[in-house]
Amino acid sequence: MTTLDVYKSWLGIPDGPRPPGHYELLRLVEFEDDPEKIRANYKKLNAHVRKYASGQYSLRSQELLNELAKAMLCLTDPERKQEYDESRGRVAETVGPEAGRRTLGKVLVDRKVISREQLKEAEAFAEARGLSLRDALVQMKTCDPATAAQALAEELGRPFIDLSDVIPDDSVLDLVPRSTVKRYAVLPLFIDDDTVLVACVDEPDPEFEEEVRLRFGLPLRAVIATPLAINQGIAKYYAAGMRDDAAAEEALKKAGGKPVRSKRGKAAKIRKRFKDMTPEEQYQQKQIGYVIMCWATVGSALVDQFLLKGRVFPFRFLDFFPFDQFLLTLFIPILAIWWVIKVFWN
């Protein structure tokens, strides 16, 4: 029985090394540097391979789709692309990985997605509401989520991925519990080149990176996706009752690893940072913060006036201001406001 050469039959790649290199796989010229060209070829080949997804070659089709995704992610990641090109004999340039890096706003303006006036409006909108520029642009409907996420990926020097194009590796999903992916708003994808590829809405949290390193014994490499796509992925692959903490720890033991625990011996539970929350979560967090500040002010005043009643000190420091009548009111609200702004909303 002859084994089907999907590279030749489906993609038209001539006989040669199997699997082919990234440029050959994506039908690109050697050392292609245009990310848009790389993504365009990837999209075209992805759509073609999907035609075989429902037939007898469905499994091989999905494997090839993930190979295409890994190649695209490598060639659209500046740092990894440079390393890959050098491994193929390209002479390294003297410019560093930060050279030519543009901000999200500049990327969108240069591509004529938004005007400079719209960028200024979005920046003011973001500052007034405590949002990221990416979320502000999406909320204002100035830019669609995918375009905004691609611009953010370029600013961060990371690749962008459309999660509808890939199916994560079950063995990778099994090792990261549902509570963790929901807490950090991430979706593990697969292992590639001795790194764990994880879809994130922004730069990954250092504590999550450490958890991945402990679970897999490998470093994490973030790729950027839209918040909606990640939430949909979590709902699909981490439905209620699936891949909970106990299941993840059992999978980790079977893989030969050790359970990931906190210093107190319990599974680590780290609060998601405010900037990593979805706009809806940020709104809820803000409302809770306002409630905390209001109750801290009202509650301390009520305790001062009806419980302590100025009896903490048998004297007044100043005749014209009864300091002891406002002992809690002077300090508790200030501490509460500081905590909400610096900790709860951070």
Q: Look at residues 112, 23, 5 and name the one whose alpha carbon lies nearest to residue 68.
A: 23
The span from the CA of 9 to the CA of 144, in Å, is 36
pLDDT at 157 over 80: yes
Q: Do domains 6-87 and 163-276 have the same CATH topology?
A: no
Cis peptide before 19 (omega within 30 of 0): yes
Average pLDDT, the chain: 84
**pLDDT confidence tier of residue 105, bands split at 50, 70 and 90:** very high
Q: Where are the alpha helices (DSSP H) in 130-222?
A: 133-139, 145-156, 170-173, 178-184, 206-216
pLDDT category, 323, cuts 50, 70, 90? low
- Residue 337 confidence (pLDDT) above 50: yes
What residues are paired with 187 via a beta bridge?
199
Q: What integer pLDDT is reported at residue 1 of this predicted model?
A: 46
pLDDT tens readout for residues 19-42: 999 999 999 999 999 988 999 999
At 328, the pLDDT band (50, 70, 90 cuts) reads: confident
Q: What is the pLDDT of residue 265?
A: 40
Per CATH, is 6-87 categorized as 1.10.287?
Answer: yes
Tell me which CATH code domain 163-276 carries: 3.30.300.160
- Dihedral sign, CA of 12, 18, 24, 26? positive
pLDDT at 197: 95
pTM of the entire predicted model:
0.69
DSSP-based three-state secondary structure for 318: strand
Q: Percent of the chain having pLDDT more than 90?
A: 51
- Only one residue has tokens 């992805």, namely 46
Pairing of strands 186-192, 220-224: unpaired
pLDDT at 324 over 70: no
Indicate the pLDDT class of residue 311, thresholds 50, 70 and 90.
low
pLDDT value of residue 2 = 57
Rg value, the chain, Cα: 26
The DSSP symbol for 190 reads: E
Selected residue with higher pLDDT from 329 and 170 = 170
Q: Which of 32-36, 96-100, 222-226, 289-293 has the highest mean pLDDT?
A: 222-226
What pLDDT, in 10s, does the model give residues 57-71? 888 998 899 999 999
Handedness of CA 330, 331, 336, 337 (dihedral sign): positive
Quote the pLDDT of residue 270: 42
CB count in 10 Å sphere of residue 193: 13
- The answer to whether residue 284 scores a pLDDT higher than 60 is yes
More confident residue, 263 or 183: 183
What is the secondary structure of 285-296 as a DSSP string?
HHHHHHHHHHHH
**Domain residue ranges of the chain, discontinuous segments joined by +:** 6-87, 104-156, 163-276, 279-344
| Mean pLDDT in residue range 257-281 | 55
pLDDT digit string, tens, across residues 174-195: 999 999 999 999 999 999 988 9
Backbone torsions φ then ψ of 139, nearest 5 degrees: -65, -35
